[in-house]
């Protein structure tokens, strides 16, 4: 759970806190969590190191806010998906979903690795990340329902979780695996599997 050091109320303070979070995200994504310190975050954000400690307890505290920023990027893509659905068939919707998540993983390649590592060693971060993932799954379920796309089971959340795991696996293979695998074919087959689950 995130600790609260100081809740900014003025626009300038809110913007300063956002700059610190964005700077931390950029550094975690380029250098990694352990290779980054708060002084570097402050420098990247263009603020004094003391300012960082006005808003956050420590680097670990900042990490939770960076998770929020990372997940917000995913939510924005989910929102885009909601606008695309009325103009696409089911095959195109699933394809759009997969390629959107490949793009998100590509933009945050290093941070995604850092997040996965932190989830393995820090149960609080793991729980926090899973809460955020569940919120996204609920949002996707609502978007599907609003567009008359209903999963064919009473276990919709579990089905959607399986779909998200397929998409995650595809993303990881697409971005991190240099093996000689036909990536286009992998996506085509994954789309077929996801559609089977939906129907």
pLDDT tens digit string along 25-65?
Answer: 999 999 999 999 999 999 999 999 999 999 999 999 999 99
The C-alpha atoms of residue 187 and residue 174 are separated, in whole angstroms, by 9
Number of residues that make up the chain = 199
Spell out the residues 6+ positions from residue 81 whose beta carbon is closer than 8 angstroms to its own. Answer: 93, 96, 97, 100, 140, 143
Distance of CA 107 to the CA centre of its chain: 11
pTM reported for the whole predicted model: 0.83
Domains of the chain: 59-198 (1.10.357.10)
The C-alpha atoms of residue 139 and residue 76 are separated, in whole angstroms, by 11
pLDDT tens digit string along 122-134?
Answer: 999 999 999 998 8
Taking 80 as the threshold, does the pLDDT of residue 18 lie above it? Answer: yes
Counting Cβ atoms within 10 Å, is residue 101 exposed (0-12), middle (13-18) or buried (19+)?
buried
Across 66-92, average pLDDT: 83
């Amino acid at each position: 759970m995130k600790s609260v050091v100081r809740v900014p109320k003025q626009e300038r303070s809110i913007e300063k806190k956002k700059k610190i979070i964005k700077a931390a995200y950029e550094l975690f994504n380029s250098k990694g969590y352990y290779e980054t310190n708060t002084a570097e975050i402050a420098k990247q954000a263009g603020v004094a190191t003391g300012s960082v400690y006005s808003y956050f307890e420590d680097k670990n505290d900042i990490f939770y806010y960076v998770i929020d920023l990372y997940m917000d990027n995913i939510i924005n893509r989910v929102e885009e998906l909601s606008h695309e659905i009325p103009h696409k068939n089911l095959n195109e919707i699933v394809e759009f979903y997969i390629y959107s998540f490949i793009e998100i993983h590509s933009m945050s390649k290093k941070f995604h690795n850092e997040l996965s590592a932190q989830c393995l060693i820090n149960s609080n971060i793991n729980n926090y990340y899973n809460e955020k993932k569940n919120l996204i799954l609920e949002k996707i379920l609502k978007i599907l329902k609003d567009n008359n796309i209903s999963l064919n089971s009473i276990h919709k959340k579990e089905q959607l979780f399986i779909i998200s795991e397929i998409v995650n696996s595809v993303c990881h293979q697409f971005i991190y695996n240099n093996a000689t695998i036909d990536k286009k074919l992998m996506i085509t087959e994954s789309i077929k599997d996801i559609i089977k689950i939906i129907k």
